[in-house]
Amino acid sequence: MRRSSRWLVIVTVAAGMAACTATADQETNEADYLPELATICTETRETFDALPDPPDQISIADFATEASNALATESERVRRLDPPGDLDDDHRAFIRNTDEQAAAWAELASLPAGTADALEPIVTNIGELTLGRNDLALEMGVVECQRSP
């Protein structure tokens, strides 16, 4: 076999092996991504569940601060995941939704006492974001990421 033919065979075999490896990596990624996302969401839910009930056991501002911090942490952790290609858009939408919820909770925490009129649109926004997140989580197949509005 001529030297150039041998290199052609080696390159072809190497390219084929690389393609197989990429497919295997993608399948592993798909198998790992959703359980990792579910674990992150479960841990965030546990953080929410551990919070005292406002206003009797914790102030609304303190509850909102803790909620904002929990969601910001969740967003950071989800951002570090490597989503499979078919979930990339959903992954980014999930992070965006989580960031927006964290910001809304932070806004709620910063409201001065006695501003009930300002409270309603923020709470409505949080509820709408939560419903959107629930739809997205259902579409992605990660029910652990759904929460009550």
Global pTM reads 0.79
Q: Is residue 19 part of a domain?
A: no
Return the residue matching tokens 């065979």.
9
pLDDT mean over 75-82: 97
Q: Which amino acid is it at 142?
A: V
Rounded to whole angstroms, how far apart are CA atoms 122 and 112? 13
Question: Which carries the bigger pLDDT value, residue 24 or residue 74?
Answer: 74
Domain count of the chain? Answer: 1
Return the residue matching tokens 């992605």.
140
Q: Any idea which of 6-20, 26-40, 122-136 has the lowest mean pLDDT? A: 6-20
Q: Is residue 113 part of a domain?
A: yes
Q: Is residue 128 part of a domain?
A: yes
Tell me the pLDDT band of 117, cut-offs 50, 70 and 90: confident
Q: Is the pLDDT of residue 19 over 60?
A: no
Q: Is residue 12 part of a domain?
A: no
Q: Which amino acid is it at 80?
A: R
Question: Which carries the bigger pLDDT value, residue 117 or residue 146?
Answer: 146
- pLDDT for 149: 73
Torsion of CA 82, 85, 89, 90, to 10 degrees: -70
Q: Which amino acid is it at 42?
A: T
Q: Is the pLDDT of residue 4 over 60?
A: no
Q: Which amino acid is it at 36?
A: E
pLDDT mean over 57-78: 96
Q: Is the pLDDT of residue 114 over 90?
A: no
Maximum CA pair distance of the chain? 87
Chain mean position to CA 120: 26
Q: Is residue 18 part of a domain?
A: no
Q: Is residue 5 part of a domain?
A: no
Q: Is the pLDDT of residue 146 over 50?
A: yes
Rounded to whole angstroms, how far apart are CA atoms 115 and 120? 10
- pLDDT for 116: 80
Q: Is residue 16 part of a domain?
A: no
- pLDDT for 113: 80
Q: Is residue 122 part of a domain?
A: yes
Q: How far is CA 52 from CA 49, 56, 58, 129, 140, in A?
A: 8, 8, 6, 22, 30
pLDDT mean over 112-137: 93
Domain that holds residue 115: 32-145
